[in-house]
Amino acid sequence: MAMAKYSRVDGRKSSSYCSTAVIVVFVAFCLVGIWMFMSSSVVPLENSDLSSQETRNEAKQTLQEGVSKQFDDTSGDISEDATREGGTMPGKVSLNTDEESRKSVEENQEENHGNDSSDEKTDSENEQRTVDGDDGSGNGKDGEMDSREGESNLESGQAENEGGEMNNNVQAESEENSGEIRSESAEGGKNSDEEVSEDKIKHVDKEDISTVDNNEKNQDENSEPSAIENSAESEENNQTSNEILPTAAQSEILTESTTQNGAWSTQAEESQNEKKWQQASISNEENDHQWKVCKSTAGPDYIPCLDNWQVIRKLPSTKHYEHRERHCPSEPPTCLVPLPEGYKRSIKWPKSRDKIWYYNVPHTKLAEVKGHQNWVKVTGEYLTFPGGGTQFKNGALHYIDFLQQSVPDIAWGKRSRVILDVGCGVASFGGYLFERDVLAMSFAPKDEHEAQVQFALERGIPAILNVMGTKRLPFPSSVFDVVHCARCRVPWHVEGGKLLLELNRVLRPGGYFIWSATPVYQKLPEDVGIWQDFGGCGFLMAEMSRLTKSMCWDLVTVKKDRLNAVGAAIYQKPASNDCYNKRSKNAPPLCEESDDPNAAWNVSLQACMHKVPEDSTERGSLWPVQWPERLEQPPYWLNSQIGVYGKAAQEDFTADYNHWKTVISESYLKGMGIDWSSVRNVMDMKAVYGGFAAALKDLKVWVMNVVPIDAADTLPVIYERGLFGIHHDWCESFNTYPRTYDVLHADHLFSSIQNRCKLVAVIAEVDRILRPEGKLIVRDKAETISAVESMAKSLQWEIRMIYSKDGEGLLCVRKKFWRPTVEEPIKSAIV
């Protein structure tokens, strides 16, 4: 019985204990529930702040809509999806005044410091939750709690996933709507992996950079990214890019594709002379390059491939001007060419045609030798160009009109659009041809007439350094409408007429050769004397007559200009092979069928003639349509070819032109912050069909179209449409003086050559040929854009704008006057 009694008592005691436990557990769950409720309310509090920021941004965007329409990209090859990101356009224009912008920068700095710390805290909390609560399958210590927390947030209307993704999404959306600029991870270290893939856009203009610089002075190193971010609204007041880069699939003509039928060979394949360079990929070493100043005998005029004295001294002969040809160093220099003392920004066109700053090209030898002939004169702080020269003492325009009067079929600016001026001097002839709507490719060697080509380029006149020596000119065959040679001291008849036969190669069938040298019209001893080594003027004229007849050139006329006391013999190249077939003697001989007339990169001259194309589908069989119609009309001979981008060539041509018209009008002219009225000399470093240059036709600029030797050889297309260009290998230096271009444009150039060339050497060459305050515009893969941006910063260049989307990027930078203080001796360039 006792046992039974005790048993009942123990039973009641056990039941009481269980009740107590249940109460304790219930209270605990209540506390946990309260804690969870309070914890879930933290995110909405932060989100309310973000929502408030979104409301402010929406209000600002409402104010902007009135003027932002003109900045919308209406590119035909960009899909509707590509122009939207969460319903916003990443290129809106701010209407703040400069004063408001400065205030906005200061306010945003304080606000964003708080936001940054809050964001970092939230990221840290989210990361901690994920680590503690996720074992890989989503079930960790706090897996159940996180699950309930997520349910609580969903019930509250907050879409949170995986313990923190919602915060990141809201933050990204807020930043996209407010147009804030993200600093790169290399600078701020704040960007997550997800942030790297987001669209990035920066706009920097002069005043805002100075504002940011002043702010940075008052901040420590850790706050630098914040200052850059907060300058976004101020920067967008004046300059905003409206360009939206399409995805690779949508871009069509933004990314090259391999041709399907192999119709477009590369210049390297044609010439079979491409140099092999050690493969060099983009590296941190290149990005962190320590720049030095090149120390060479040429000083500020250093041209690596023309000043290689290590090779020039060892040449076995200079009889054929081998010492004026290209001899590139085995390793391209990675130093920076110094500026001339007193250098200043170039004078704008058209005033630059008549005068330039003396200290920009401080050479007087040509003025001393040719001053009395009206080439160039020193006038105070200027070098002036009277516009005459030896050939046209009473003005170049009179001489130009005299030539057309002699042969009306020349028809400047209509039939004759692109000409070659051999031995151009200071290029006054080409400079005044602009008034007749004619482009002249002028060239002369780097010789005792120091800086004549540099004078031309400083004046804003197209010119390159080249010599008629042992190599072909770097142009395709049959591309120039007219070839002009005034007072050029070239013995055309020697060695089987090899040099004149080279002009025959580049002259279009039916085109004219204008020879206005002293043997044509002068009998004075001083003029006759220079030809004594070649048998005298009489002998030279006789030999020239014999050679041109054997080449089937027709001597159209020999005319004298009484006013300028000069004369010209004008020849015409045959437009068919009839004369060649009727010759009694095969001299000069016709070239072998296997000899490619378009192979022009580092190819030796041949004393032979190529047959004239007669098939109506072949290039050169018909004369192009008149200018300006030829600019927009696809060449007739593209019918049977596949284009560079994989479509029918004529369709490719039209798509390329439409693309660049949109890019130029909607982006480059509006969104880069470039004062195009101060731009004259432009280079497209990787031209395809010349669409970029064609789209600039209404501006007072000229464009040197460069077709790299390892790209599709589309240079004939560029000439056919009335533009000009040149072949080049960007692993080597370009044949021009330093500081000669206002704008360089590189469309997917750097990524295409980085496996052959060191990017740092290519950027050093860009710096060499770009004028201080000149602009570099780069369109390329995002990783390449990042590498170029890093190098530009190391050069102290100003980042005007950077944008990336879907792996493609756009960058615009401005070169400054900065030069390093440490010198690097260039052994190959020291005499």
Q: Which residues, in sequence order, are bridge partners of residue 642?
A: 648
| Beta-carbon contacts of residue 11 (< 8 Å; ≥ 6 apart) | none
**CA angle at residue 307 from 302 to 313, to 5 degrees?**
155
DSSP 3-state helix, strand, coil percentages of the chain (rounded to 5)?
45, 15, 40
Sequence-ordered list of residues with C-beta below 8 angstroms from that of 226, at least 6 positions apart, any chain: 109, 112, 113, 116, 183, 188, 219
Bridge partners for 706 per DSSP: 726
With CA atoms as reference, report the closest residue to 82 among 245, 252, 199, 256: 245
pLDDT for the residue numbered 388: 62
Conformational region of residue 387, where left means phi above 0, alpha means psi within -120 to 50, and beta covers everything else? left
Q: Which of the residue ranges 84-88, 389-393, 535-539 has the most confident prediction, judged by mean pLDDT?
A: 389-393
> What are the residues whose beta carbons fall under 8 Å from the beta carbon of 487, sequence distance 6 or more?
390, 391, 423, 516, 517, 518
Number of H helices, E strands in the chain: 30, 20
| Environment class of 669 (CB within 10 Å of its CB; exposed 0-12, middle 13-18, buried 19+) | middle
Hey, what are 642's tokens?
């596949």
Cβ contact 79:250 at 8 Å:
yes
Alpha-carbon distance of 37 to 227, in angstroms, equals: 38
The whole-chain average pLDDT of the chain stands at 75
pLDDT of residue 389: 63
Q: Using one digit for the tens of pLDDT, what is the confidence trace for 122-137?
A: 444 444 433 344 444 4
* Most trustworthy range by pLDDT among 35-49, 262-276, 294-308, 392-406: 294-308
Is residue 61 packed enough to be buried (19+ CB in 10 Å), middle (13-18) or exposed (0-12)?
A: middle
pLDDT in tens, 211-226: 334 434 444 433 333 3
Q: In 253-328, where do the E strands start and end?
A: 293-295
Per-residue pLDDT for 83 more than 50? Answer: no
Mean pLDDT of 349-356: 95
Torsion, Cα of 434, 436, 437, 440 (10° steps): -50
C-alpha distances in Å from residue 346, one per residue of 90, 350, 355: 35, 12, 10
Q: What is the pLDDT of residues 31-64, one digit of tens each?
A: 777 766 554 443 333 333 333 344 434 433 433 3
Listed range (250-254, 387-391, 468-472) with the worst mean pLDDT = 250-254
Nearest residue to 417 via CA among 404, 406, 405, 433: 433
Question: Could you give the C-alpha distances from 233 to 83, 202, 205, 208, 314, in angstroms and in order?
Answer: 21, 10, 12, 10, 60
Rounded to two decimals, the pTM is 0.71
β partners of residue 203: 801
Q: Are 774 and 741 in contact (CB under 8 A)?
A: yes
Query: What's the distance, Cα to Cα, between the start and end of the chain in Å?
Result: 125
Q: How confident is the model at residue 561 (pLDDT cuts 50, 70, 90)?
A: confident
715 in helix, strand or coil? helix
Q: Parallel, antiparallel, or unpaired for β 418-422 and 480-486?
A: parallel
% residues pLDDT > 70 (the chain): 63
C-alpha–C-alpha distance, residues 612 and 775, integer Å:
42
> What's the mean pLDDT in 341-347?
96
Q: In what order do the strands lie in the sheet with 382-384?
A: 355-357, 382-384, 377-379
Residue 711 in contact with residue 752, Cβ under 8 Å?
yes
Q: For residue 619, give the nearest of 603, 634, 600 by alpha carbon.
A: 634
Q: Sorting pLDDT into bands at 50, 70 and 90, what band is 423?
A: confident
Query: Per-residue pLDDT for 639 more than 90?
Result: no
pLDDT in tens, 662-684: 999 999 998 888 999 999 999 99
Q: Which residue has the higher pLDDT, 52 or 754?
A: 754
**Region 73-80 average pLDDT:** 35
- Among 382, 380, 352, which Cα is nearest to 771's? 352
Place of tokens 């009889």: 319
pLDDT value at 579 more than 60: yes
Pairing of strands 681-684, 702-708: parallel
Q: Is the pLDDT of residue 454 over 90?
A: yes
R_g over Cα of the chain: 35
Q: 350: cis peptide before it, omega within 30°?
A: yes
Read off the amino acid at residue 628.
Answer: P
Instruction: Give the strand pairing for 808-814 and 798-805.
Output: antiparallel
- Res 675: pLDDT: 95
Could you give the CA distance from residue 706 to residue 753 in angstroms, rounded to a whole number? 14
**Least confident among 181-190, 523-532, 627-636:** 181-190
| Nearest CA-CA partner of 425 in 407, 451, 404 | 451
